[in-house]
Amino acid sequence: MVHIWPIGGGKGGSGKSFLTSSLGRLLAGLGKKTLLVDLDLGSANLHTLVDVPYPEKSFSDFIRKKIPLLEDVVSETPVPNLYIISGAHDNLDIANLPYEQKVKILKAIARLDYDWILLDLGAGTSFNTLDFFLISQNSMFITTPEPTSIENVYRLVRAIYFRRIRHYFNATDFKALEEEVLRQFGEGSFNNPDCIMEVIKEAHPEKNLLLENDFNSFKFKLVLNQLRKHDNIALGSQICKIIEKHLGLQVDFAGNIAFDDRVHDAICQRVSFLDRYPYTRTAYDLRELSKRIAQFTGQQLLIRYT
Amino acid sequence: MKKDFAKLNYYEMLDIKPDAAFFEIRHAYNAALQIYEADSLVSYSFFSREERKEILNLLEKAYSTLINGKGRKNYDNQLMQTGVLASPGNKAAARKPACIYDVKRQSGTTVLPKNNKAALRANVAQNKRINEILSKDEISGADLKAIRNELGVAIEKIASETRIRMDYLIGMEENKIDRLPAVAFLKGFVKSYLKCLCVEPVEGICARYIEGLARMGKNNETGVF
């Protein structure tokens, strides 16, 4: 069975691509056939982190039907067992993906034959990112111990909720739902998934059941990256606790990853941090995380497209 | 999906069990403050200003109620009336610390547990073969061994319980007079052996055994007896 893991987190610069490439290297090192997919469309740079500076093929080739099968867009990397679908040299307008093409990509990804597929998602809460998140029940949020980053994680979690709810309604029903929520809870309440769920519970009990089922089956993981020595090590579990208590969504804390200046050095020299500095705290944390993640299992492809 | 914080009871707000001790309540309150305080990193941007204020007020109220013995009792009664909390009758008694050293423990040297002794005694009374042996005028070492085997007690067990050396025990069972200690000691050993197997009457059997040995000694003319 293929395990698809979207890796994202609201804010840019929190280490999504670094984490994706490191986990990819570690999982490949365990002998698992691992594919990295750069879905940070429009600002792709995962290929640089796995030492493929000039990928010959990219997403654009698939989208523009130059290459009909997504399998053929996969490039090999210097690391055994590790493969990449790069977004380098994409068209400059790829960030604004039409919905049909996005569905095409998602379906193609789900059909790929790999042990592990890690999706490197972009920052922000655009529909692209959210839909790629919802491809799997597993997914990983990454945040740094800074208010800006944590703020964006909360936003992302709520946005994913919102997006999932939207999937179950067509445009007119959704508009009606919005009006009903506004009528019951007042101005601004439509930004609050809790209020929307309240209304759905009464107006569409069958959809409420499906949604609750979905939300219960999500297995989100939180990773706290760039943790400095003086930071609160309990922060990650506290964040998970507050999300569970106030949003009713289960998020498991997957671990801290220590901050290390040498990550910057390794990226600048374009070498693998794990190979260059294997005995650092950061490398240890990454190895622990990969071991833990290798144990998790979950169903893939939740999205139902009509 | 969302649980309304205001609808939780005080214990749920603080994430503690209804039988939490006072120090646990204090810890839970401090932990909650770490999460909900205005300058907390954890809940940054999670709540609006009003929501945060409301939550902090509720926490304050929960803490001040529960930390006060009388207030807590009243609150528990309220919860019990609404059925949220089970009445104390059904609640298991609070766990007490267990003693590492049990002063009441009996310092007997018995290896066999007490109930085992009772079982042995019953066995002796019921076993036909043992009764046959005991009704004999003279009791030899072989008879002792037969009794022990009937009861299923290993000779090592007797050795560890009575602290009699193994070679003496074997000598007793095999009538090896030259290996046995002086009569004064031997009497004591035989009595312990019989006590260990719960065979009665100890004195009588012991005397019959010693007699038997003495006769054998005369026949062999070893001169011990």
Residues of A in contact with B43 (CB under 8 A): 242
Q: Is B2 on the interface with A (CB under 8 A)?
A: yes
The whole-angstrom separation of Cα A250 and Cα A240 is: 8
Segment B142-184, tens digit of pLDDT: 888 888 888 888 888 888 888 888 889 988 888 888 888 888 8
Q: Under an 8 A CB cutoff, do A246 and B42 touch?
A: no
Quote the pTM value: 0.69
Per-residue pLDDT at B223 exceeds 50: no
Contact A88, A55 (CB under 8 A): yes
Per-residue pLDDT at A61 exceeds 50: yes
pLDDT at B113: 57
Phi, psi of B42 (to 5 degrees): -65, -50
Domain ranges of chain B: 5-81, 114-220
Phi, psi of B174 (to 5 degrees): -105, 10
CATH 2.60.40.1180 fits B5-81, yes or no: no
Per-residue pLDDT at B111 exceeds 60: no
Least confidently predicted of A36-45, B87-96, B133-142, B196-205:
B87-96
Out of B34, B35, B41, whose CB is closest to A150? B41
Fold of the A3-157+218-295 domain: Rossmann fold (3.40.50)
- Residue located via tokens 């309440």: A189
Per-residue pLDDT at B94 exceeds 60: no
- List the beta bridge partners of residue A34: A82, A116
Q: Which residues of A touch B (CB under 8 A)?
A: 145-147, 150-151, 154-155, 161, 193-194, 197, 212, 215, 232, 235, 238-239, 241-242, 245-249
Give me the interface pTM, i.e. the ipTM: 0.78
When scoring A245, A250, A251 by the number of chain B Cβ atoms within 10 A, the one with the most, hence best to mutate, is A245
The C-alpha of A106 sits at a distance from chain B's nearest C-alpha, in angstroms, of: 28
pLDDT at B99: 66
Per-residue pLDDT at A296 exceeds 80: no
Phi, psi of A282 (to 5 degrees): -60, -45
3-state secondary structure of A229: coil
Residue A265: how many other CB atoms lie within 10 Å: 13
When scoring A11, A144, A150, A216 by the number of chain B Cβ atoms within 10 A, the one with the most, hence best to mutate, is A150
Phi, psi of A96 (to 5 degrees): -100, 80
Instruction: Average the pLDDT over A170-189 and give the result.
Output: 83
Per-residue pLDDT at A305 exceeds 70: no
Segment A136-166, tens digit of pLDDT: 888 899 999 999 999 999 989 888 888 888 8
Per-residue pLDDT at B107 exceeds 70: no
Q: Kindly state the tokens that stand for B171.
A: 């000598």
pLDDT at B32: 92
Confidence of residue B82 (pLDDT cuts 50, 70, 90): confident
- List the beta bridge partners of residue A222: A141, A253
Which residue would you say has higher pLDDT here, A280 or A300?
A280
Segment B27-37, tens digit of pLDDT: 999 999 999 99
Kind of pairing, strands A82-85 and A75-76?
antiparallel
Of A187, A43, A69, A226, residue with least CA distance to A121: A43
pLDDT at B112: 52
- Residue count (chain A): 306
- Return the DSSP state at A37: E
Residue-wise DSSP of A59-96: HHHHHTTSSS-GGGG-EE-SSTTEEEE--TT--TTTTS
Q: Which residues contact A159 (CB under 8 A, 6 or more apart)?
A: A125, A130
Contact B153, B173 (CB under 8 A): no
Q: Is B1 on the interface with A (CB under 8 A)?
A: yes
pLDDT at A298: 58
Residue-wise DSSP of A46-67: HHHHTT-SS-S--HHHHHTTSS
Q: Is B42 on the interface with A (CB under 8 A)?
A: yes
Of A152, A218, A137, A108, residue with least CA distance to A16: A152
When scoring A207, A246, A250, A251 by the number of chain B Cβ atoms within 10 A, the one with the most, hence best to mutate, is A246
Segment B15-71, tens digit of pLDDT: 898 888 888 999 999 999 999 998 888 888 888 888 899 999 999 999 999 998 899
pLDDT at A136: 84
The CATH-assigned architecture of domain B114-220 is Orthogonal Bundle (1.10)
pLDDT at B3: 54
pLDDT at A33: 92
pLDDT at A19: 94
User: For chain B, first and last CA: distance in Å?
Assistant: 95
Instruction: Average the pLDDT over B124-148 and give the result.
Output: 84
The C-alpha of B43 sits at a distance from chain A's nearest C-alpha, in angstroms, of: 7
Domain ranges of chain A: 3-157+218-295
Confidence of residue B109 (pLDDT cuts 50, 70, 90): very low
Which residue would you say has higher pLDDT here, A241 or A89?
A241
Q: Under an 8 A CB cutoff, do B2 and A248 touch?
A: yes
Least confidently predicted of B92-96, B183-187, B206-210:
B92-96
Which residue would you say has higher pLDDT here, B52 or B87?
B52
pLDDT at A162: 87
B85 CB-side CA count, 13 A = 22
Segment A122-143, tens digit of pLDDT: 888 888 888 888 888 888 999 9
pLDDT at B46: 86
Kind of pairing, strands A75-76 and A116-121?
unpaired
pLDDT at A77: 92
pLDDT at B106: 58
pLDDT at A306: 40
Chain mean position to CA A245: 23
Which residue would you say has higher pLDDT here, B34 or A194?
B34
The whole-angstrom separation of Cα B82 and Cα A304 is: 43
- Please list the alpha-helical segments (H only) found in chain A: 16-29, 46-49, 59-63, 99-111, 127-133, 147-167, 171-185, 193-203, 205-217, 235-247, 261-269, 273-276, 281-295
- Residue located via tokens 């003693």: B99
Q: Under an 8 A CB cutoff, do B44 and A235 touch?
A: no
Please give the mean pLDDT across all residues of chain A: 87
Please give the mean pLDDT across all residues of chain B: 81
Segment A200-259, tens digit of pLDDT: 888 888 888 888 888 888 888 999 999 999 998 999 999 999 988 888 788 899 999 999
Burial of B131 (0-12, 13-18, 19+ CB in 10 A): exposed
Q: Under an 8 A CB cutoff, do A150 and B5 touch?
A: no
Per-residue pLDDT at A110 exceeds 90: no
